[in-house]
A and B are shown apart, each in its own frame.
Chain A
Amino acid sequence: MLNTFVRSIILYILVLFIMRLMGKREIGQFQPFELAIAIMISDLASNPISDNGIPLSDGIIPIMGLLLLHLIITFFNMTNTKIRGFICGKPSILINKGVINEKQLKKEKFSINELEAKLRNENVMSISDVEYAILETNGNISVILKKDKEPVTIGDLNLKSDYKGLTYNLVVDGEVSYENLKLINKDYEWLVKQTQKYHMMPEEALIVNINEAGEIFYQIKDKT
């Protein structure tokens, strides 16, 4: 029993390490080759966990082999457009200048209903609002709306807005981020002065962040 427990921990750590090496994309944004590898890795890891008769190396070695393959494919994917087209495929235009491309829909095995569902996921409630709909290689749909259907922006209204920039977390769950303090050229003493305005110490905060306009957001930890 203990063997199975320890084996599962070892393999979990290994799989976690491998998935970390594979990059930061969400599962929904995996390319086909990444999805294939992710599925195979999980299957390979599960066999030695459930069967003590299978040596751990029978799980570890094939997983390392898949990682190797992934690194090689990723290298070629990044450096060669032809290979990228072959491995990942090319995006398909399903709606071109407001007209649904039936041939492409059939080729991609997409029904009109599925197209409408995908558009609704992108907050587009009517096909008539769409200028271009592009089926990406990871299965997501990118939408460009018709000019008169696009949401209004501040630029359209000729309004001015203050530049907010990036928000930096200075304290998360009571832990001070010295790295971010350094990025904004501040130090711990400055942070203490800021938090004392709100009657707390940095370590008592759930979150403290600051944007490039100097606006601070804070929330104190729940003491209960």
Chain B
Amino acid sequence: MKKEVIAVCSILVIIFTTNYICQVYLNNVADDISENLKELHSICMEYLEKQDNEEKEKIIEEKIKEISNKWEKSEQILSLYIEHSELEKIDVNIVRIKSFQEIDEYDEATQAVSECIFMFKHIRQKQRMSLSNLF
């Protein structure tokens, strides 16, 4: 019986600890990238309102690169425990943001940024322990 009790306790500890670590990592990544996306969104909105200068375009381009690099690094770890179809949606959105920026379609890019922000919020909610996720 001792072995069984030890096994039960070990499994519980492993599962809860792993869940905590994964949740914290996801939240940190989601917060960080969402923050960057929101900044990008506001810069794009400002650019669209004022039809501004090349400087703003460069800022947007660098911001997109920064977000893309961060996402690439985080995605490898997130893919270990999050459904790949969810991560692929973010991948597609980031590619869309890049593509729209390259062809100067900043209104489409802004839309794609909003979708991306929503995707991060959605993934975080989906991974959380809650009644709605249980049922």
Contact = CB atoms under 8 A, between A and B. Distances in A.
Contact of B1 (A54, A55, A61, A75): A75
Interface in B1-23: 1, 4-5, 7-8, 11-12, 14-15
B4 A64 contact: no
A53 B15 contact: no
A121 interface: no
B4 A67 contact: no
The number of chain B residues touching the other chain, given as a range, is: 10 to 19
Given A61-B15, A75-B1, A55 B8 contact: no
A55 B12 contact: no
Contacts of B82: 55
Contacts of B85: 53
A75 B6 CA distance: 12
Given A55-B79, A65-B15, A72 B8 contact: yes
A57 B81 contact: yes
B80 interface: yes
A101 B24 CA distance: 61
B84 interface: yes
B5 to A, nearest CB: 8
B15 A55 contact: no
Contacts of B1: 75, 78-79
Contacts of B79: 55
Contact of A75 (B4, B14, B80): B4
A64 B83 contact: no
Given A64-B15, A65-B15, A74 B84 contact: no
Contacts of B5: 75
Interface residues of A, number: 19
- Between B4, B5, B85, the greatest number of chain A beta carbons within 10 A of the residue's beta carbon is seen for B4
B8 A71 contact: yes
A52 B87 CA distance: 13
A213 interface: no
Given A71-B4, A71-B7, A75-B1, A57 B80 contact: yes
Interface string A91-135: 000000000000000000000000000000000000000000000
30 contacts: A21-B7, A52-B84, A53-B84, A53-B85, A54-B83, A54-B84, A55-B80, A55-B82, A56-B80, A57-B80, A57-B81, A58-B81, A58-B83, A61-B15, A64-B11, A64-B14, A64-B15, A65-B15, A68-B8, A68-B11, A71-B4, A71-B7, A71-B8, A71-B11, A72-B8, A74-B4, A75-B4, A75-B5, A75-B8, A78-B1
Interface of B: 1, 4-5, 7-8, 11-12, 14-15, 79-85
Closest 9 CB pairs of A and B: A53-B84, A57-B81, A68-B11, A71-B4, A71-B8, A55-B81, A53-B85, A75-B4, A64-B11
